[in-house]
Amino acid sequence: MRLNKFLAQTGVASRRKADELIQMATTEVNGKICLDPAYDVKDTDVIKYDGQKVKPVQEKIVIMLHKPKKVITTVKDTHGRKTVLDIVPSKYRLTPVGRLDQDTTGLLLLTNDGDLHQYLTHPKNRIPKDYEAVIEGRMTASQIQKLIRGIYIGDKEYGKAEIVSQDTKKGRSVVILRLHQGKKREIRRIMHRLKLKLLSLKRIRFSGLELGDLPEHHYRTLNEKEEIGRAHV
């Protein structure tokens, strides 16, 4: 087994992220730093990550969290801010699947299954994610067409989304947008380019998984039927 896959199966990170971590001199093989993600791990090898001995997990779990505002989607924060792992204490080494910025609420998955993490986050798989955006006013037909075709959002990137629905009441609209990739702060950058005031943003669906009525700050473990993507890895 390659070293990057070994680390992924310990729950440290996805396989792609494991490549970066290995090249940052975080991983030891038999007491020596190894910088080669393709190193072939043998049964007798002792692997340490960040000074701690690690081995592939036997029980793989997926947790759904309703992330509140002002919580960082990361494992550790160097500035001492509250992270999602402060809300979801676990004996397992969990990693967030993708990111929600600190002002976005809603559905966030965490798992110790590196292969599942890789599948759900790889752009080529185009996993759909639905967001509920509350805006001032209403999105016009022209703005919707720009969004469907793709709109420049800066940094040589284009934002693109489907509009699932739009419901307007008392000068505000609830817009359900569907993304298939998800660039950094993509919806916020889209709204800025369209000159629309975004009042709140919540992820309500991740592929076939619904946030439903799970309250903020709460989480639950998914059952086998809900573990989306497991059959693909």
Asked if 108 and 73 touch (Cβ cutoff 8 Å), the reply is yes
Q: Would you list the DSSP string of the chain?
A: -BHHHHHHHHTSS-HHHHHHHHHTT-EEETTEE---TT-B--TT--EEETTEE----SS--EEEEEE-TT-B-SS--TT---BHHHHS--SS--EESS---TT-EEEEEEES-HHHHHHHH-GGG---EEEEEEEES---HHHHHHHHH-EEEETTEEE--EEEEEEEETTEEEEEEEESS--TTHHHHHHHHTT--EEEEEEEEETTEE-TTPPTT-EEE--GGG-TTGGG-
- Four-CA torsion 60, 58, 95, 20, nearest 10 degrees: -130
> Would you name the residues annotated as active-site residues?
101
